Chains A and B, each alone.
Chain A
Amino acid sequence: MKTYFAATALALCFATGAQAAGDLNIYAWAESISPALIEKFSKENDVKVNVDSFTSNEDLLTKLQAGSSGYDIATPSQHFLRVMIDQGIIENFGASKLKAYENIEEKWRNQWWDETQDYSIPLAYGTAGFVVNTDQYKGPTDSFKYFFEPEGELKGKIALLSYPDEVIGAAQLYLGVPFCSEDQAEMKKVLDLLMAQKPSVAAYSSDNIASRLASGEVSAHFWWDGDSLRARKAGSPVSLAMTKEGLVGWMDSYVVPKGAPNRDNAVKFVEFMSTLENATEQMNFYSHSSPMKVIQEKVVNTKETAPELYPEVPITFSRTCSAAAQDLVTRVWTQLLQ
């Protein structure tokens, strides 16, 4: 029995540990990394690249916390990146000494989520707000008021995301409540606002947003700037609301999870994606803004063609909340959907 057990255990170790030298496992936001670039990297370096995708930072964090995910690269947003560093679940891969570091736009280097810039190289940034179907809704969109306190035609035609993260942030911007508030009375106001909005909400869902909005199933959806841009370019009648209260900002970065089986390939990939040429191609594919230096003449989404990416309203980046503040956020969300 014992020997069999040992043999089985050994076999299991080999089964999970037997990664060929040329593998790279990426865990990224759905459809976020240019498949053409992945193929190019794969050919140039003789590496087999596997890409899995997630649709929320929470999913990513949970997966990495559970340990030995087998991923070599992940792409969390800034506030989750900070948590991952603090929790010691991502590697210090000496990012600040890479060529990629030199290619980060100066204003985006060494931000609060990674002061030494040893754990991450950014890949994209953007905003979240509400997007309307312009065939169905012709009214004003210059304030979150029309989204959180809808009147008339928007009633019953609104959808939010299935996670509290950016949605609560937008509600806080509208109410003037600071992000990560630990004040119960302030967060109660957020709950009251969302409760009053709920009868007008059709769905709380992060899946299938493009078709739900384009088909007119809903007329306003909480969404991201680049996705809205992509949908508009594909012919959907959508428009990102430039709300005077501001937009919720995010920035995603490449990180290397602890215990990544193909760390060298991961670093190679980060370097590859961060060259001027490839960063430009990636930006054009993803349709979000790039924190990297890019070849300006080759950028497709310019201020004229893609106003979504160049908002003139203030942007407030999501922050890493204390446990107490996070509890309040969860409590608001659970009570909203109870």
Chain B
Amino acid sequence: MTESALPTTAETERRPRTRFWHDLAFWGLLPSRLLMGFALILPIFIIAAVSVATRGAYGGFTWDFNLAGYTQILFNEGWTGELEFTPQYLLIIIRTFLLAGATTLICLAFAVPVAYFISRQPPGRKAILVYLVTLPFWVSMILRVYAWMIILGKDGTLPNLLEILGFQPGMSFMFNDGATLTAMVYTAMPLMVLPVFASIEKLDGTLIEASHDLYGNRWVTLRRVILPLTAPGITAGAILVFVPALGAVLEPTLMGGGKQMMMGSLIQLQFGGGRNWPFGAAIAMTLMALVMIFLIATALRAARREAMS
């Protein structure tokens, strides 16, 4: 401030001081750098390295460069012994994306009204409701999935209720895509509600009134006012739900009966029973690349929207 008015003296004075500050920043940030390096970046490099290694006969790998892991995603030896195009892994990838997408959309459809409702409550009740939304997080995820098995399974809560209402007894809703989706939506819901709530809460009520004053009906108000203003929260929630859903193993296995593989279970099989670590690592890298594309596209769209407004 005053220093900028006296550049020559300030320059000589500032140098040792900036170095001190610089050093402090460096040492202060060191723990986070180490954490990032060892817990995030290094493992990714290990996965990348394993994905181009050569598989060992009984699992494990040797450090010989080999792209078999990646070609195997699309081309495999057929039952006639020739290399042919095999869409099976592609189908698993597409199915995983559809499931994660469906989870995100259903979560969104529930989360927006819930968040809107909570945000319009008096402060005390609001705090309690937000607390209630986070409550499931206090219970282990595997227990939450087992709870759904008890609700949907044979002699479970829902079939018994339907029996009382006069439906056919002994029904079971387990082991299908609907059961998988139910559990996934349930476990992911708080991750969607909280960011959406955060941005809806900041929404200025007078803007909605203004929209109505300008003859905007409810639909127009939602589309032109509420959604654009809450877009950051919706985007954050969508990412928080969509990305972990891509790697889901528990719900498809326990609720869906493991009849149709997802990318998570495919990777698990390659590291376990399949004993093909490089292929498992290659699928993991592919999954990560696809997620990155999704995230970058979202970030670009957000940046463009910001530039427009």
Contact = CB atoms under 8 A, between A and B. Distances in A.
Interface of A: 4, 8, 56, 58-59, 61-62, 65, 83, 86-87, 159, 162-165, 184-185, 188, 198, 201-205, 207-208, 215-217, 322-323, 326, 329-331, 333-335, 337-338
A308 to B, nearest CB: 25
A159 B146 CA distance: 18
B269 A330 contact: yes
B41 interface: no
B106 to A, nearest CB: 23
17 contacts: A61-B58, A62-B272, A83-B58, A163-B272, A184-B81, A185-B79, A204-B258, A208-B149, A217-B174, A323-B58, A333-B273, A334-B274, A335-B88, A337-B259, A337-B265, A338-B91, A338-B260
Contact of B60 (A56, A87, A333): A87
Given A87-B60, A334-B88, A334-B269, A202 B274 contact: no
A184 B153 CA distance: 39
B34 interface: yes
The SS class assigned to the A binding surface is: helix
Contacts of B59: 61-62, 65
Nearest to B76: A331
Interface of B: 30, 34, 56-60, 76, 79-81, 88-89, 91-92, 146, 149, 153-155, 172, 174-175, 253-254, 257-261, 265-266, 269, 271-276
A202 B175 CA distance: 6
A222 to B, nearest CB: 13
A203 B273 contact: no
The B interface, classified by DSSP as helix, strand, loop or mixed, is loop
A164 to B, nearest CB: 6
B266 to A, nearest CB: 8
Q: Which of A83, A208, A326, A337 has most chain B Cβ within 10 Å?
A: A337
A12 B124 CA distance: 46
Given A65-B60, A184-B79, A326 B257 contact: no
